[in-house]
């Protein structure tokens, strides 16, 4: 099974996420506390609690988590309607892999409902066999990777991500990581790297996963 990170690996929704959060933030605490798409890129890979602590640290804990939850709920609806931007070659490559019988899943540190918003907005359900997210299980990414592997009976899996936290999580789960170098960060211990998504099948073949 090939397990994918979402943000920075399959798509870029940073503009849309920032837009959705800013609608809520401006209403709740004022325009001076809004964020940018660059802020969102820096936060990608963090859990929602970590993002709340980072961006709403000026608020008491209960209030910051309440505001974060309001942003998450609104974001899911906004993303479902507006979508994001798939990286070049994503859909064509996923189709090629699916046609070859490769099982695929998404595991993200996002809030509950965000992966579904991705699958709905971009019509991606047909390519993926499973998904998991921090907000649904409250488990760290490594545990969610293992969970997806176990319930699909797929011990031979590999993770594709774009930041070091992705690689760290995959190694804790006992699997290798491929670095999506076109994404939002760097990985210094990946088993391989891809500079564009359409390079993935050849790398998977070379590594013996397909």
> How far is Cα 61 from Cα 9, in angstroms, rounded to an integer?
31
3 state DSSP class of 137: helix
pLDDT tens for residues 41-98?
Answer: 889 888 889 999 999 999 999 999 999 999 999 999 999 999 999 999 999 999 999 9
Name the pLDDT band for 137 (thresholds 50, 70, 90).
very high
> 63: part of which helix (H) or strand (E)?
helix 61-82
User: Percent of the chain beyond pLDDT 70?
Assistant: 100
Distance CA 25, CA 27 (A): 5
pLDDT at 48: 85
Q: Pick the closest to residue 6 from 122, 110, 100 (CA basis).
A: 110
Tokens of 10: 């399959």
Widest Cα–Cα separation across the chain = 52
Residue 122 and residue 119: Cα distance in Å, rounded? 6
CA distance 24 to 35: 11
Tell me the whole-structure pTM to 2 decimals: 0.92
Write out pLDDT tens, residues 9-56. Answer: 999 999 999 999 999 999 999 999 999 999 998 898 888 899 999 999
């Amino acid at each position: 099974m090939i397990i994918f990170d979402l943000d920075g690996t399959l798509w870029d929704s940073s503009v849309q996420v920032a837009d959705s959060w800013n609608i809520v933030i401006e209403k709740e605490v004022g325009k001076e506390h809004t964020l940018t798409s660059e802020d969102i890129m820096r936060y990608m890979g963090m859990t929602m609690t970590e993002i709340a602590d980072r961006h709403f640290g000026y608020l008491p804990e209960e209030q910051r988590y309440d505001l974060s939850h309001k942003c998450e709920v609104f974001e899911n609806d906004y993303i479902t309607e507006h979508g994001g931007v798939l990286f070049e070659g994503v859909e064509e490559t996923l189709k090629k892999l699916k046609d070859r019988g490769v099982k695929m899943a998404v595991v993200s540190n996002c809030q509950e409902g965000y992966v579904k918003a991705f699958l709905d907005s971009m019509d991606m359900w047909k390519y993926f066999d499973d998904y998991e997210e921090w907000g649904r299980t409250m488990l760290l990414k490594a545990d969610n990777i293992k969970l997806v592997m176990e319930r699909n009976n797929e011990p031979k899996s590999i993770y594709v991500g774009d930041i070091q936290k992705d690689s760290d999580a995959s190694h804790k789960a006992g699997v290798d990581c491929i670095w999506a170098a076109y994404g939002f960060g760097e990985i210094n211990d990946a088993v391989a790297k891809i500079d564009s998504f359409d390079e993935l099948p050849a790398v998977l073949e070379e590594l013996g996963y397909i």
